[in-house]
Structure 1
Amino acid sequence: MAQVPDLNSLIPAGEGSAAGRIIQLVAMLTVLSLAPGLLVMVTSFTRIVVALSFLRSGIGLQSTPANLIMISLALFMTFYVMAPTFDRAWKDGVQPLTRNEISEEEAFTKITDPFKEFMQAHVRDKDLKLLDDLAVEHMQLKSENGEVSLRVLIPAFMISELRRGFEIGFLIALPFLVIDMIVATLTMSMGMMMLPPTVLSLPFKVLFFVLIDGWNMLVGGLVRSFF
């Protein structure tokens, strides 16, 4: 006779029924699969990668540095900026959960609290109010005990980060635009109509960025913008 194993023996022990624990496992696997997207949404990655993209576009280099280099630099800068938040989430939420000292619900709260504090420290009040008003008006979602829901805080934080990233990008691209205008004026005055100004301005822009130690200034400015 075939033996049908008990479902409770095939899944990790925990509170609730076997079906409830299966749903928890599926939800946990879903969160882990969405981890790259969550990294973009709730950390400093958005502002950093937008600023680096403006830098490459301002210089006029389409593939240098390569996308792998740019994304890797943005990731490691994100880990550097978010280190206190990651450490707190790990010590207060993940480690007690792996030791079965707290429940999944309590662990979720302790893990998300550091990220909520980080987002609330950098979100614009105007963006937060906009999303909060829209949630109350169209989805009937109200803040509980004065706390902002993640469904409201995350999109507001992303909008704020995009705005700051574009502000930084404007400041990055402005000097290179001036160099392009100077070179274009000189080439036009010399009658060099057939030579694209970008061909002549590219070496000057690269030289200018190297002479001012641009990478040091950019990385330092981006990191300081979060503190």
Structure 2
Amino acid sequence: MRARGAIRAGAIYGLILAIFAVASPALAQAGGQPGALDRAVQTISGDGRPLSLSLQILVLMSLLTVLPSLILMMTSFTRIIIVLSILRQALGLQQTPPNQVLVGLALFLSIFVMRPVISEINETAYTPYGQGSISVEEAVSRSGNALHGFMLTQTRETDLKLFMDLADAQPFARPQDIPFSILLPSFVTSELKTAFQIGFLIFLPFLIIDLVVASTLMALGMMMLSPTIISMPFKLLLFVLVDGWALTMGSLAASFAGG
């Protein structure tokens, strides 16, 4: 029962994070005008009244087709899945672990990394909104601030400057004033660069094993024997001896701590 409750809570928080992740950029593009979200809802309803709960659920279910891609690009998932894919390639394993396992590992590790952000959204936005103390627009704004702060700490200044120059944007007085239209591509670019840097460091020791095995086979005149077949057991042995999975997952989680 506890496990089932934890899964249900995780799913709820994931949906909340998804809703706020999509709504926050839209709110930022609207210029943060009071009542902008309410006017949008009233326009959709057509009669000046807010949408009913059933219609709101229908709209949210329709957004589920685009929410996954937005969530993956606005969280730690991108860096984690790229590093795990490079690790599998470095080990010389084509389909082990399978893609479903890698995606599951990346997803649950992302939930672990994003736990402070999810907790902040729950405390500052979801719970007050559920109690009726704040409006949906205020809840979206507070959730957007939480995601904005996370992405900002993981984004390099050089990437921010690049997209600010491309957008012809003037320097902002505070980092919090950077719009999502500039922060999002900067964050994704930084995540890709960081993921490939970590992947290179992971790939290097396995590459050394491949070179040693290939050189040994050449010296023995066994050129018809594939070096991959011989080096794979040694790479797996090395990975197991150093407790590679715990080391990799722990290092990935720790890479988000410093910002």
Bin of the TM-score, shorter chain as denominator length:
0.7 to 0.9
Give how far 1:31 is off.
4.4
Match of 2:125 among 70, 87, 93: 93
Give the whole-Å Cα distance in 1 for the aligned partners of 2:59 and 2:156.
31
CA shift digits 1:129-168 (9 cap, x unpaired): 11111112xxxx6677640001110110010000000000
State the Cα RMSD in Å: 2.3
Aligned residue number for residue 66 of structure 2:
34
User: Which structure is larger by alpha-carbon Rg, 1 or 2?
Assistant: 1
SS of the counterpart of 2:137? helix
Give the whole-Å Cα distance in 1 for the aligned partners of 2:125 and 2:170.
26
Aligned residue number for residue 226 of structure 1:
256
CA shift digits 1:49-107 (9 cap, x unpaired): 11101100000001001111111111111111110101111221223333433223212
Give the whole-Å Cα distance in 1 for the aligned partners of 2:38 and 2:166.
37
Q: Does 1:203 align with 2:237?
A: no
Alignment of 1:72-83 (within 5 A): 72-83=104-115
Give the whole-Å Cα distance in 2 for the aligned partners of 1:94 and 1:81.
19
Q: Does 1:61 align with 2:93?
A: yes
1:143 and 1:149 in contact (8 A); partners too: no
Amino acid at match of 2:223: M
Amino acid at match of 1:56: R
So what's the TM-score if we normalise by structure 1? 0.84
Q: How many residue pairs end up in the alignment?
A: 210
2:155 and 2:186 in contact (8 A); partners too: yes
- 5+ residue gaps, structure 1, are 1-13
Q: Does 1:193 align with 2:226?
A: no
Cα distance, 1:144–1:98 mapped onto 2, change above 3 Å: farther
Give the whole-Å Cα distance in 2 for the aligned partners of 1:179 and 1:64.
19
Match of 1:156 among 170, 186, 202: 186
Q: Does 1:122 align with 2:154?
A: yes
2:38 and 2:137 in contact (8 A); partners too: no
Identity across aligned pairs (percent)?
A: 42
SS of the counterpart of 1:114? helix
Give the whole-Å Cα distance in 2 for the aligned partners of 1:96 and 1:222.
33
SS of the counterpart of 1:182? helix
Give how far 1:15 is off.
5.3
SS of the counterpart of 2:167? helix
